[in-house]
Amino acid sequence: MRKPDLSIEFCGVRFPNPFVLAAAPPTDSAEMIARGFDAGWGGAVVKTLGLEHVEVNLVSPMMAGLAYEDKNLIGLENIDLISNRHLPEVLQEVSELKKRYQEQVLIVSMMAGTEDEWKEITRRVQEAGADMIECSFSCPHGMPERGMGSAVGQDAALTYERAKWVVEAASVPVLIKLTPNVTDIRPIAQKVKEAGAAGITCINTLKGLLGFDLDTFAPIPDVGGKSTAGGYSGPAIKPIALRFVSDVAKDVGIPVAGVGGVVTWRDAAEFLLAGAGIVQVCTAVMRYGYDIVEELIEGLGYYLEEKGLGTPADLVGRGLPNVVSHEALSRDYKVVASIDGDLCVGCGACIVACRDGGHQAIEFPEDAAGTGNERIPGVDEEKCIGCGFCRTVCPVTGCILMKERESEA
């Protein structure tokens, strides 16, 4: 395996690479995390821990996938809870892991209720040797009903108060993991910053209801005929995650651990461009295994090399200046659809899309009989407003381009 130097500093901690296992089933034991580190992950967030008295009563099944065509997992819904393992046992494992893996960064995710509880768990996690702490203010199911999880992250005042408790007790950098189930994350992220946390992890899962069984009318996942809204993750949520990451990085100015739908190095690179300093992955690891980190590392390495960039840090936030308000977008830049007749297979999907989803600007030619070009659609440039939808339906890569119009001035 190729080993480019992808090391990066995040919140004052050196990561061997920006790829980190998110707090989730893949990080629920030392044995699992060790296999992840051996595969090449730069860090791991141990699955969220609670104090001994917190009852974690799991249901089953607790996961279900959203399928689309040939993909059976474009999104994953879970109604899992925080780790149901005994705290001292896991903390013992954390200590042992730290002895075995000095280079990799071990972050421990945790959740608590009162000030005393937050401070107690902070101290105990630190004593075990965690390099960083991540506080879950964001789990959307189960915990909010008990005043924890996203019940905290949806309230700026609660967020500030609890973040402050942890920061006061902590000697290692503190990350606050926020929920996307809010109208605007920025005021809440601002409070995290004011409380003195080192950074923000976002996003946790989106609260969703995956579907219903049409025979039994039970929601999915079906827990004995009933279900509940849960946390939705996977490739389907990537655009939403990128939006939150860029909002926080641009408007709040605090380091961000980006998470939500990362599968390939390209996804990871986009998170870096949106301002994430490290990238966490969960669903793709659950689906494909720890080994996918090899493709993340090599792919990002080759990309940086090709672009003549030094390290991942050179990408962080690099796209943010280009994320602007709608008002700030140019009205002078105009494009028009252009169909490459040599590449076109003649399906006419663009015609349907433009007719029923656009501006009726694309048609098969009327005067092409016998030329062999009967099924190569033409664009009426008067009618085309350059929306770009035709390009999204074309089955041939590069066949439809949106070309800049000649300036009329």
Partner 1 sequence: MSDRTAGSGALVEFDRTYAPHEAVLEASRCLMCEDPPCNRGCPAGVDARRFIRKIRFGNFLGASRLVREANLLVGVCGRLCPQEILCMEHCTRAELDTPIDIAGLQRFAGDVELGTLAPLPEVADERSQRVAVLGSGPGGLAAAVELRKAGYQVDVLERSGTPGGLLTRGVPPFRLERSFAESELEYAKRLGANVLPGRGDEDPARLLRSGYDAVLVAVGLWKPYTIGLPGEDLEGVHVAGDILAVVADGGRPDLGRRVVVIGGGNVAIDAATTALRLGAERVDLCCLESHDEMPAFRSEIETAQAEGVEFHTRTIPVAITGEGGKVVGYEGIGIRWKEPGLLVPSNAERIPGTEFRLGADAVIEAIGQGVADRYEGVETDERGLVAAEPETMATSRAGVFACGDVTSGGATVVQAVAEGKRAAEGIDRYLRSLGDSASGGGDGR
Rounded least distance, CB 383 to partner 1, Å: 17
- For partner 1 (CB under 8 A), the number of binding residues is 13
Rounded least distance, CB 215 to partner 1, Å: 14
Show the beta-strand stretches assigned E in 111-215.
132-136, 174-177, 199-202, 206-208, 211-212
Applying the rule CB under 8 A, the residues between 367 and 386 that interact with partner 1 are 375
Applying the rule CB under 8 A, the residues between 226 and 255 that interact with partner 1 are none
Please give the radius of gyration of the chain, using alpha carbons only, rounded to the nearest integer. Answer: 24
Q: Quick one: CA torsion of 59, 63, 64, 65, rounded to 10 degrees? A: 170
- Kindly state whether residue 356 participates in binding partner 1, applying the rule CB under 8 A: no
Binding region for partner 1 (CB under 8 A) out of 49-57, 93-101, 157-165, 348-356: 348-356
Compare residues 296 and 394 and give the one whose CB is closer to partner 1.
394
One-letter-per-residue 3-state SS of 300-322: HHHHHHHCCCCCHHHCCCCCHHH
| Burial (Cβ within 10 Å: 0-12, 13-18, ≥19) of residue 287 | middle
Amino acid symbol at 238: K
Binding mask 256-295 for partner 1 (x = CB under 8 A): ----------------------------------------
Binding region for partner 1 (CB under 8 A) out of 18-26, 186-194, 279-287, 347-355: 347-355
Interface pick for partner 1 out of 348, 389, 401, 405 (rule CB under 8 A)? 348
Residues classed as catalytic = 139
From 112, 80, 111, 106, select the one nearest 93 (Cα to Cα). 106
From 197, 8, 13, select the one nearest 102 (Cα to Cα). 13
| Burial (Cβ within 10 Å: 0-12, 13-18, ≥19) of residue 7 | middle
Q: How many residues are there in the chain?
A: 409
- Kindly state whether residue 396 participates in binding partner 1, applying the rule CB under 8 A: yes
Binding mask 41-80 for partner 1 (x = CB under 8 A): ----------------------------xx----------
- Kindly state whether residue 349 participates in binding partner 1, applying the rule CB under 8 A: yes
Contact 66, 78 (CB under 8 A): no
Binding region for partner 1 (CB under 8 A) out of 105-113, 121-129, 330-338, 349-357: 349-357
Residues that bind partner 1 (CB under 8 A): 69-70, 345-349, 351-352, 364, 375, 395-396
